[in-house]
């Protein structure tokens, strides 16, 4: 068995692996796609000490760092089930989609999350070419331009306020007949001079010139009218979905499906830790996921030191 078996090869999993392997313990990462969400990222400009890099380059560097410490990388494998240890300090089992199974004295779950998509024509075609999901990441790319935010919940309204300070103009489009964010945020958004709020707006397409986004089309659900908004960017803010479907019923999840962790990354199952976007830790960012992975690895190491087998 492994001392530390990590599920997920994004920034959280890679950092956990480096921290675990540097303790001289047997460490492996099982990942469907090494690099995780960073593989979908064009420019990364907010990872401290790295002025600028791109996603695939960053992912390759994560992998190289883990390999340098002899971490076993089990690529292209999907975990399907987690079986808690039968006895305290016993082995945790991970069952894979290919029928195989792996065991660990501790397990770190870092399966990340995915942005909920609006699923309209143009969204896939113009992803990273005007269609964005992360205002902290991509907001500065739209400095001085006009953008839309789709979604009027907390994340959409926060994105609208954040972007209004950076871009020329923000059109916020909410499907329902009212914004669903906290009142203090809604009041702040409404006070901004360069923000227009559209209620009852159903986005029907994200439009472009073949190279990049040039506008967005929505239907006014009240009148049935079709409207076209010229702009350079569309921020989709309709939710982040944690990759925990396979863990339901096994360990404690929040009502949003995130793995509930304590300050050391421990979950409700003994010997099982979690880190990064898949957890309740707020602010889903690379640097936060990486720090969180390091923390979970130290938590797992602490657990191993305290459990019976040396």
Residues with catalytic roles: 134, 137-138
Structure token digits, residue 266: 């421990």
Among 17, 20, 28, 36, binds ligand FAD (CB under 6 A): 36
Q: Which is nearer to ligand FAD, 184 or 263 (CB)?
A: 263
Cβ count near 265 (within 10 Å)? 29
The continuous run of DSSP H or E covering 288 comes out as helix 286-306
Q: Which is nearer to ligand FAD, 41 or 237 (CB)?
A: 41
Burial class (CB in 10 A: 0-12, 13-18, 19+), 146: middle
Per CB under 6 A, does 117 bind ligand FAD? no
Region of 140 (left: φ > 0; alpha: ψ -120 to 50; beta: rest) is alpha
Q: What is the rounded distance in angstroms from the CA atom of residue 18 to the CA atom of residue 62?
A: 9
Among 137, 185, 199, 260, binds ligand FAD (CB under 6 A): 137
**Interface positions, 39-68, toward ligand FAD (CB under 6 A):** 40-41, 44, 46
Among 27, 106, 110, 250, binds ligand FAD (CB under 6 A): 110
- State residue 119 phi and psi, 5-degree precision: 60, 55
Q: Find out whether 21 is annotated in a ligand binding site.
A: no
Q: Find out whether 4 is annotated in a ligand binding site.
A: yes
Per CB under 6 A, does 294 bind ligand FAD? no
Q: Which is nearer to ligand FAD, 85 or 259 (CB)?
A: 259
Structure token digits, residue 187: 């009041």
Q: Find out whether 276 is annotated in a ligand binding site.
A: yes
Site string for ligand FAD, 170-199 (x = CB under 6 A): ------------------------------
**Within 13 A of 194's CA, how many CA atoms are on the CB side?**
16
Q: Are strands 213-220 and 201-208 parallel, antiparallel or unpaired?
A: antiparallel
Among 2, 3, 6, 13, binds ligand FAD (CB under 6 A): 13
Residue 302 near residue 20 (C-beta atoms within 8 A): no
Q: Which is nearer to ligand FAD, 102 or 216 (CB)?
A: 102
Q: Which is nearer to ligand FAD, 75 or 190 (CB)?
A: 75
**Within 13 A of 91's CA, how many CA atoms are on the CB side?**
11
Site string for ligand FAD, 210-249 (x = CB under 6 A): ---------------------------------x--x---
The site for ligand FAD, by CB under 6 A, has a size of 39
Per CB under 6 A, does 69 bind ligand FAD? no
Characterize 197-215 residue by residue with b for buried, 16 or more Cβ atoms within 10 angstroms of its Cβ, and e for exposed: bbbbbbbbebbbeeeebbb
Structure token digits, residue 54: 């791109």
What spatial distance separates the first Cα and last Cα of the chain, rounded to whole Å?
Answer: 14
Q: What is the rounded distance in angstroms from the CA atom of residue 269 to the CA atom of residue 300?
A: 12
Q: Which is nearer to ligand FAD, 69 or 115 (CB)?
A: 115
Among 289, 296, 297, 304, binds ligand FAD (CB under 6 A): 289
**Interface positions, 266-285, toward ligand FAD (CB under 6 A):** 276-278, 284-285
Q: Helix 286-306 vs helix 11-21: angle between axes, to the nearest 10 degrees?
A: 40
Q: What is the rounded distance in angstroms from the CA atom of residue 231 to the CA atom of residue 250?
A: 45
Q: Which residues bind ligand FAD (CB under 6 A)?
A: 7-13, 30-34, 36-38, 40-41, 44, 46, 78-79, 110-113, 115, 133-134, 137, 243, 246, 276-278, 284-287, 289
Binding site listing: 3-18, 267-277
Residues annotated in the binding site for FAD, as ranges? 3-18, 267-277
């Amino acid at each position: 068995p492994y001392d530390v078996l990590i599920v997920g090869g994004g920034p959280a999993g890679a950092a956990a692996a480096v921290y675990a392997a540097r303790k001289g313990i047997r460490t492996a990462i099982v990942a469907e796609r090494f690099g995780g969400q960073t593989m979908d990222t064009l420019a990364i400009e907010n990872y401290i000490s790295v002025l600028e890099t791109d996603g695939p380059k960053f992912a390759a560097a994560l992998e190289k760092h883990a390999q340098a410490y002899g971490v076993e990388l089990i690529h292209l494998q999907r975990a399907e089930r987690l079986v808690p240890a039968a006895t305290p300090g016993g082995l945790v089992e991970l069952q894979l989609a290919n029928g195989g199974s792996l065991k660990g004295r501790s397990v770190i779950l870092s399966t990340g999350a995915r942005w909920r998509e609006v699923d309209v024509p143009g969204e896939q075609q113009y992803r990273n070419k005007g269609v964005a999901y992360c205002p902290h990441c991509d907001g500065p790319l739209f400095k001085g331009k006009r953008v839309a935010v789709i979604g009027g919940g907390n994340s959409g309204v926060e994105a609208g306020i954040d972007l209004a300070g950076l871009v020329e103009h923000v059109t916020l489009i909410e499907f329902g007949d009212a914004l669903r964010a906290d009142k203090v945020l809604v009041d702040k958004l409404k006070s901004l001079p360069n923000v227009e709020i559209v209620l009852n707006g159903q986005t029907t397409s994200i439009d472009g010139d073949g190279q990049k986004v040039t506008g967005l089309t929505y239907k006014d659900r009240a009148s049935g009218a079709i409207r076209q908004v010229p702009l350079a960017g569309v921020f989709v803010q309709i939710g982040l979905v944690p990759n925990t479907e396979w863990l339901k019923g096994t360990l404690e999840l929040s009502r949003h499906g995130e793995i509930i962790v304590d300050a050391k990354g421990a979950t409700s199952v003994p010997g099982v830790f979690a880190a990064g976007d898949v957890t309740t830790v707020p602010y889903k960012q690379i640097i936060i996921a990486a720090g969180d992975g390091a923390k979970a690895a130290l938590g797992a190491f602490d657990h191993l030191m305290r459990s019976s087998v040396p």
